[in-house]
Chain A
Amino acid sequence: MSVDAATVRRIARLSRIELPEADVPVMQGEINAILGFVEQLGEVNVDGVEPMTSVTPMALKMREDVVTDGEKAALVTANAPQSEDNYFLVPKVVE
């Protein structure tokens, strides 16, 4: 399978990465090289094989449904590029 330029633009959009038009052909070539490389996986018979969900055979651990941490708004927002009164500032989302 290979991707065309329109698909590359669509993937960039889904990935939320702005891709200048001039970079589309290069990215397309590289993605297709990788898709060509992974094509050999089609040779493998996977009938009846369970997909791996956990590499170590262990049950997902559960814990009490209680608050373990919090009340740290200042720490949480300390690295924000823009914040005010412990809120993250973003462009207007809802008109």
Chain B
Amino acid sequence: MTDLTALTLDEARKGLIEGKFTSVELTKAHLTAMEAARPLNAYVLETPEKALEMAAASDARRANGKAGRLEGIPLGIKDLFATEGTRTTACSRILGNFVPKYESTVTSQLFRDGAVMLGKLNNDEFAMGSSNETSAFGPVVNPLKPANWDTAKAKSALASDRKGLLVPGGSSGGSSAAVAANLCLGATATDTGGSIRQPAAFTGTVGIKPTYGRCSRWGIVAFASSLDQAGPIAKTVRDAAVLLTSMAGHDPKDSTSVEMAVPDFEAAVGKSVAGKTIGIPKEYRVDGMPAEIEALWHKGAEMLKAAGAKVVDVSLPHTKYALPAYYIVAPAEASSNLARYDGVRYGLRVPGKDIVDLYEKTRAAGFGREVKRRIMIGTYVLSAGYYDAYYLRAQKIRTLIKKDFEDVYAQGVDAILTPATPSAAFGIAEKADADPVEMYLNDIFTVTVNMAGLPGLALPGGTDASGLPLGLQLIGRPFDEETLFSLGSVIEDQVGRVTTAKWW
């Protein structure tokens, strides 16, 4: 029998429909692969019993002629999504053994459509990070080996301190690694500043952050509420479109979720892009950008041109201010959102001599370094006397960033093409001693999209000199994810999928 984990979601769906295998068989194949891949640390919790139970129920539904869009498809769930009865930690010690009594809207919609949950995926603590190294469960290993490393060398590093092996990006590093390593057919992820798109770029997978308001945030551990959006990481553009169709939709429980019909995103895959106008923003040509990124970007534009799209130069003048403004807005919202972790209602508690001492000791023990620093920055920029200089100014700059995009779209541009990241995946622990700003620069091309609430798709565009995948990003008009799927499938047809042989 062929390796069922090597299938794409679309191929698996066809196989299930044709009766070539059952969901239980498909799920078992993934559970076996997960067990063998534990050293990669992509899953922080495997839920084999629940998975097999859900798979059996799915097979029964199919036998009764009731098959949903994702009937029998095994997925990995980022540990930021509350899953009823299954431990949810945001990969932070402070949530301890939190077992939600409710299901997030996004996961409930995936399960409504027949999906099977394999387990919970690793991520940076509270989704704060770009390498998955801030997780309380430790780093995730990118299933793509470093250039010129043979299997023996990679295996020995995996068995020791993992140094030299590559990060899978972050914060959705468990999601990207699990998809790239065939440990699920697709994964949920979240993106506040690039946390879907940067990990997708680092692992050669496909990720889309939809327009703000497309997916309900209800039941997702909050980081920065005005920026957070859920989306899928998948093996192909089509798979991502299928998953997003199930994840999206209005939810009365999230007041920022939009009341708008969800199109069948899959129908946009493979649709002609002739006549579409693609903008190339000159401000994304940053100082010191490697020539290979520039070449990749150019190649991407050529592919779209060959498919009949028109490519024009555009200007987004406030681009360089997006990242610094983000590092005010996001920590400010985080400091407010994370105030709920007080050691009283759920999660970790460290006893103290009075209630304030209990709060301070609990939060000191429960939060990791990156999270503490962001809470403190956020507290500072919101504090009396600094609010206007920092937070209010950043929110005004956010208005200008959004207006940049509106101006470009008003000129008739349908989508914008940029690189997804300034480099390919870097090594685990490589940036441990760098100042925090260096890590933040990873999100320089993705963060503008969150600040403006727009949809962004990242997908493989080529490789760097050493053969590691590099991602391209397509940015769309608000609520026009369909154009991104159409354009993405043109690039995917040319570039092909990134796959890796099992070495772990």
Contact = CB atoms under 8 A, between A and B. Distances in A.
A72 to B, nearest CB: 8
A22 interface: no
Given A33-B435, A81-B349, A88 B395 contact: no
A29 to B, nearest CB: 8
Interface residues of A, number: 52
Interface residues of B, number: 71
A6 interface: no
B380 A78 contact: no
A41 B376 contact: no
Nearest to B326: A38
Overall SS of chain B's interface: helix
Given A37-B327, A41-B324, A55-B402, A17 B396 contact: no
B372 A49 contact: no
A34 interface: yes
B355 A90 contact: yes
Contacts of B327: 34, 37-38
Contacts of A93: 354-355
A11 B380 contact: yes
A15 B379 contact: yes
A53 B225 CA distance: 12
A52 B435 CA distance: 29
Contacts of A85: none
A91 to B, nearest CB: 5
A56 B213 contact: yes
B437 A37 contact: yes
Interface in A7-66: 7-8, 11-19, 27, 29-31, 33-34, 37-42, 44, 46, 49-56, 58, 60-61, 63
Nearest to B366: A17
Nearest to B99: A79
Given A37-B327, A55-B402, A19 B355 contact: no
A27 B335 CA distance: 16
A81 B373 CA distance: 25
A11 to B, nearest CB: 5
Given A30-B436, A80-B346, A18 B361 contact: yes
A16 B363 contact: yes
Contact of A17 (B98, B344, B358, B363): B363
Interface string B364-387: 100100001101110110010000
A86 interface: no
18 contacts: A8-B376, A15-B375, A16-B360, A17-B360, A30-B373, A33-B436, A33-B437, A40-B320, A41-B324, A42-B393, A44-B318, A44-B393, A51-B392, A51-B395, A56-B213, A58-B256, A90-B358, A93-B354
Interface of A: 1, 3, 7-8, 11-19, 27, 29-31, 33-34, 37-42, 44, 46, 49-56, 58, 60-61, 63, 72, 75, 77-82, 88, 90-93
Given A7-B380, A77-B345, A91-B353, 15 more contacts: A16-B363, A19-B364, A31-B376, A38-B324, A40-B324, A41-B394, A42-B393, A46-B397, A51-B398, A52-B399, A55-B402, A78-B99, A79-B346, A79-B347, A92-B354
